């Protein structure tokens, strides 16, 4: 089993259960995902949500490798996380790059993505997304791994349910849709930086995140500004 810090897990669960939805549900979900890998000792984590057409889309990831996993599955609509959503149960793979269930994924994945596990996130008893983790080596997942992930996903479900109680469901949907849409803006900004500065996708995304952190801004807002300056022909802006 992957090492889990029990004290960190308990503290994190209590903190998230008590957090007020007033901080913003999308921002709060992102914070939840950002600590999953640290608590469980995984290489990275991510969160996917279904749009109104029940198509699973990338929402958050802790790093570039995790982003490639989420983006690849959203692109081909197949993979362990998509399967966790459609079957409403935990799905794991010892090595996703060699798993013949999803042959189209491997060419789209970062080299560090190997073992993957996904569990559903539910609202009203129905799956609305998935919590996903990956390891940069092959890994035999145990029942205790998926049980811990189910427990963490349940906290996410409680946060979403609390947000639904605190505000109209349509407003919550608008917030999630806003976050999903801004992923497109981030992808476009990464592509622009790759072309302008001859960077890899990983280098462009890392640079974008660093500048956002340094300026205490959201990556999505910085990406939108960058694309706006691109449209105005600003030759001096660089990441």
Distance, in Å, from the CA atom of 135 to the CA atom of 115, rounded to the nearest integer, reads 5
For residues 108 and 161, give the distance between their C-alpha atoms in angstroms, rounded to a whole number: 34
Q: At what angle do helices 219-231 and 201-214 cross, to 10 degrees?
A: 110
Encode pLDDT of 207-216 as tens digits.
888 888 888 8
pLDDT of residue 177: 67
Q: How far apart are CA 205 and CA 193, in angstroms?
A: 9
Across the chain, which distance is largest between two alpha carbons, in Å? Answer: 54
Cross-strand pairs, 91: 118
Q: In the structure encoding, which two tokens stand for residue 165, read together?
A: 């109680």
Mean pLDDT on 225-235? 67
Give pLDDT, residue 56: 86
User: CA 122 to CA 191: how far, in whole Å?
Assistant: 33
Write the pLDDT tens digit of every residue in 114-151: 999 999 999 888 898 999 999 999 999 999 899 989 98
Q: Which two tokens stand for residue 95?
A: 């090595």
Q: Model-level pTM greater than 0.75? A: no
């Amino acid at each position: 089993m992957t090492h889990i810090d029990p004290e960190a897990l308990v503290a994190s669960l209590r903190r998230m259960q008590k957090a007020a939805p007033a901080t913003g549900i999308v921002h709060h979900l992102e914070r939840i995902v950002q600590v999953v890998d640290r608590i469980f000792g995984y290489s990275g984590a991510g969160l996917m949500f279904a749009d109104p057409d029940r198509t699973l889309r990338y929402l958050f990831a802790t790093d570039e490798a995790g982003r490639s996993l989420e983006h690849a599955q959203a692109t081909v609509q197949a993979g362990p996380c998509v399967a966790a959503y459609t079957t409403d149960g935990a799905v794991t793979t010892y090595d996703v790059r060699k798993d013949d269930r999803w042959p189209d994924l491997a060419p789209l994945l970062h080299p560090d993505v190997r073992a993957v596990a996904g569990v559903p996130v539910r609202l009203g008893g129905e799956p609305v997304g998935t919590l996903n983790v990956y390891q940069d080596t092959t890994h035999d997942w145990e029942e205790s791994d998926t049980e811990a992930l189910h427990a963490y996903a349940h906290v996410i479900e409680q946060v979403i349910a609390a947000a639904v109680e605190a505000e109209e469901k349509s407003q919550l949907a608008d917030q999630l849709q806003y976050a999903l849409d801004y992923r497109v803006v981030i992808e476009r900004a990464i592509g622009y930086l790759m072309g302008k500065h001859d960077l890899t996708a990983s280098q462009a995304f890392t640079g974008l995140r660093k500048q956002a952190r340094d300026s205490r801004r959201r990556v999505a807002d910085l990406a939108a500004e960058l694309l706006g300056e691109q449209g105005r022909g600003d030759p001096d802006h660089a990441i």
